[in-house]
Structure 1
Amino acid sequence: MLQRLTEDFEYSEILDVASRCDDASEQLAYVAAFTISSYSTTSSRIGKPFNPLLGETYEYDRTDDLGWKVINEQVSHHPPMVAQHCVGRGWTCWQEFTMTSKFRGKYLQIVPLGIAYVEFKNGNKYSWRKVTTTVHNIIVGKLWVDQHGDMEIIGRGNTSGLKCHLKFIPYSYFSKESQRRVKGAVMDSSGKVTWIINGTWDDKVEICKVTDVSGSETNPVYETNSPIVAWSRKIPHPDSQKYYNFTLLACQMNEPEEGVAPTDSRLRPDQRLMENQMWDDANKEKVRLEEKQRAVRRVRESEAEQAAQTGQPYKPYEPIWFKQVKDEDTGGVIHKYTGKYWECKSKQDWSMCPDIF
């Protein structure tokens, strides 16, 4: 799951372009294209990822060629929550990912609850929440995935007042729209539409600058410049079905790497045994790891109970690389990166890592 979330940066070059935009509205249009690109592989990747163990991490450093590096940590088990922090060329992106799921008989709905941010070197900052994912044919038939709902990308700080509304149109047998369609508009602080976004979440997205508006207030007609392709999906390898429809980046991300934290997903034994088709051993390891996690949780619950009975304060579980702080934009609580992971990696000092495997 931690690796899967890192695939959000498959098309990080969109943010590289956005960081060079002088016009905030144009920058927001590119940010919108980036948020859509994170769904590019979901139509062909329907397998359920492993649930991370509490304290499990995943890091990936592609600074030399792709210009970004990321650290993820499972910061909560109930509810399951991942904190992520990524630094790129002229931008920083961070998010909390948690969700609820609703089983509706024929389909399963996954509703993300976390919030994501990107901030550029000039101080421009934007936030958004992901849309609903529905997995169809849970009981009978071939599984397929749809993304639908409304996404609001909001300008923060310097760009306060700017916003982009995106509509992910749900699949419909009777719709005249192309399937997997996304459309939207960037609006300035006065509500005037400045950019139009149009495309599909599994293929490409075009952005157009609005030059003139005609028609009525309820049915405006926008004249635009020629469309700019802000993002188009990289064509998967013809043999990709043989390796779980992974993209090249997903395959590279899964390669074992020396020097990572001992809690890194790639060191997780049940996952690696399963990849090597040692099914029985993988199942035994999975049971062992889950029981080990439960035992640690039981000890914490017992200590918390004893502290409550004696009136002593009890320190709850704290993540290793993130800390809970008040979100200056929403007023809620968010996990913020402490900035220590890469420093500890350079020293190979993993003394603060829990023994989870």
Structure 2
Amino acid sequence: MSGEGEGEGQGSGGGWGSWGMSLVESVGKTLTTAMGYEEMEVVDPNAGEGTENANGTADWKNNTSLDRRGMSEESKSFWGQISQMIGSDVTSMLSVPVFLMEPTSVLQKMAEIMEYPDLLTKGAKATEEAERMAWAAAFAVSVYASAERTWKPFNPILGETFQLKLGKDYEDGEYIAEQVSHHPPIGAAHAETPYWSYDIVSCPKTKFLGNTLEVYPVGRTRIKYKTTGEELAMVPPTSKAYNLVLGKIWVDTYGELIIENITNKWKTVIEFVPCGYFGGGRYTVKGNVFDAEGKPALYIDGKWNEGVGYQQCDRETGAPLAGSERTEMWAASKKPEGDAYGMTNFVHTHLNAWPGGGLLKSDSRLRPDRAALELEKRAEAQTFKHKLEEKQRAEKTKRIESGDGWTPRWFQLNNDMELRDFEYSTEDCPPWTFKQFPEKGDLVDVKQDYHESAEGTFSPWQYPDEE
């Protein structure tokens, strides 16, 4: 069930919710598919029944009504194998077929937090300390609006990269991500604008408990406001998949999102309310910005799939003040209707599109399996995916035989990094830091319609001439 090329995983605090959700959803789908229940979907526990397509059979993309009781002998045998994983980290144990996947890579999924970069820009321009913290919280929550997709992104090849030009008009800044480790899967990313910088290292852990799967978003995320010199560090909440074996699969994110201002000791704590009976509390977030003395300064609330805002609060209890003016910080963009994968417009216009010009040959957009799946050529996508996995295995073998190491191009280990008390250790989350953006000579010209040329262009390889 394991494979060098396509182990499951990679969640953390930057595409945070997306990461945890992607992992638990893909594992759940893999289990149920292998047991003969391909039509199961990751669902909201309060969702409606499934639909039927034109020929009267269940629509496997949308069906939420099936139950997995009454397993066949073959399915029971499979579960016997799966049960041996109970208590284990399954980050690299499962391989997912293309028909369960969406045409993005994990590095692209990681970049979905950049859909609303203006939130950090507004934070950087804010004159009040409390407001700067609130805007950072809105930015952190905003990524969860894209976390309900139930498809697995492609796991990055070692050395794979993803570039992004920020903002609606591609003029607000730059973003780059690189897969710096394959086992364990670790991705690093950096964004730079005139007003702020953003850094993340993503290296999650999981715990499979039989009928549930917990995802611990191990990682390190830091944001720096260039206008004030303030540095913020974030720790996201936990995601959990329920009913992997019996009942309807559904995923919840719960616990605290914590943002610490390393510079002035201010802090924001946002509670992601766990889903209760009959869907009670679903999507709700609420919390406070606290000053350096630990007193509440602002109240923040909303829903992570809709929007959040802030208002003044009682300085002792933290409760919102009746009649105080509310500032709406963020509202989720409307998703396109009829999208087979439930993708946002941002995925179509920025993550899977390129305005043309220079791009690294290792960019996720140019993966031939991803590009083929985007064109709905699933058989080709599966073939390309297998070839990429085999090539990656061959490269690992050659590195071992030749004694070569792997050195990322755009990130480097910084063993002198100063850690904060609330951050993960360097053992749990290696200290990868940004080195540099690509220069013009590192890039190849890629046209807007790049899909047909992807196979001949994509190259994250250490030994590109080796077959």
TM-score (norm 2): 0.66
Residue identity matched to 1:30: W
Going from structure 1 to structure 2, the CA distance change for 1:107 and 1:356 (only over 3 Å counts) comes to farther
The alpha carbon displacement at 1:232 in A equals 1.2
The residue that corresponds to 2:157 in the other structure is 53
Within the candidate set 201, 215, 219, 1:110 is matched to 215
The alpha carbon displacement at 1:65 in A equals 4.4
Q: Is the 8 A contact 1:46 1:143 kept in 2?
A: no
Distance 2:462 2:406 in 1: 14
1:148 aligns with 2:254: yes
Going from structure 1 to structure 2, the CA distance change for 1:247 and 1:342 (only over 3 Å counts) comes to farther
Distance 1:57 1:213 in 2: 46
1:354 aligns with 2:451: no
Distance 1:47 1:187 in 2: 37
1:73 aligns with 2:178: yes
Distance 2:389 2:325 in 1: 55
The residue that corresponds to 1:129 in the other structure is 235
| CA displacement, residues 68-121 of structure 1 (integer Å, 9 cap, x when unaligned) | 321010011111011011113411111011211223333433221011111111
1:254 aligns with 2:352: yes
The residue that corresponds to 2:409 in the other structure is 320
The residue that corresponds to 1:164 in the other structure is 268
The residue that corresponds to 1:91 in the other structure is 196
The alpha carbon displacement at 1:282 in A equals 2.1
Q: Is the 8 A contact 1:324 1:336 kept in 2?
A: yes
Q: Is the 8 A contact 1:149 1:170 kept in 2?
A: yes
Going from structure 1 to structure 2, the CA distance change for 1:258 and 1:345 (only over 3 Å counts) comes to same
Of the structure 1 ranges 73-82 and 136-145, higher mean CA displacement relative to structure 2 is found in 136-145
Going from structure 1 to structure 2, the CA distance change for 1:259 and 1:138 (only over 3 Å counts) comes to farther
**Structure 1: stretches of 5+ with no match in the other structure:** 305-314
**Structure 2: stretches of 5+ with no match in the other structure:** 1-105, 446-456
The residue that corresponds to 1:180 in the other structure is 283
Q: Is the 8 A contact 2:311 2:321 kept in 1?
A: no
Name the one with the larger strand percent: 1
Going from structure 1 to structure 2, the CA distance change for 1:152 and 1:317 (only over 3 Å counts) comes to same
The alpha carbon displacement at 1:223 in A equals 2.9
1:229 aligns with 2:328: yes
| CA displacement, residues 171-196 of structure 1 (integer Å, 9 cap, x when unaligned) | 11168x63211111111111111111
Q: Secondary structure of the residue that 1:118 maps to in structure 2?
A: strand
After superposition, residues 17-32 of structure 1 pair within 5 angstroms as: 17-32=122-137
Of the structure 1 ranges 134-143 and 77-86, higher mean CA displacement relative to structure 2 is found in 134-143
Q: Alignment identity in percent?
A: 29
Q: CA RMSD in A?
A: 2.6
Q: Is the 8 A contact 2:260 2:266 kept in 1?
A: yes
Going from structure 1 to structure 2, the CA distance change for 1:112 and 1:354 (only over 3 Å counts) comes to same
1:302 aligns with 2:401: yes
Of the structure 1 ranges 180-189 and 133-142, higher mean CA displacement relative to structure 2 is found in 133-142
Going from structure 1 to structure 2, the CA distance change for 1:146 and 1:342 (only over 3 Å counts) comes to farther
Q: How many residues align?
A: 334
Residue identity matched to 2:178: E
Q: Secondary structure of the residue that 2:312 maps to in structure 1?
A: strand
Residue identity matched to 1:275: E
Q: Secondary structure of the residue that 2:158 maps to in structure 1?
A: coil
Going from structure 1 to structure 2, the CA distance change for 1:162 and 1:344 (only over 3 Å counts) comes to farther
Q: Return the structure number with greater relative CO, CA threshold 8 A, min gap 6.
A: 2
The alpha carbon displacement at 1:140 in A equals 6.0
| CA displacement, residues 21-60 of structure 1 (integer Å, 9 cap, x when unaligned) | 12222101111111011111112x1111110000000101
Distance 2:310 2:229 in 1: 23
Residue identity matched to 1:191: G
Q: Is the 8 A contact 1:187 1:194 kept in 2?
A: yes
Going from structure 1 to structure 2, the CA distance change for 1:89 and 1:141 (only over 3 Å counts) comes to farther
TM-score (norm 1): 0.85
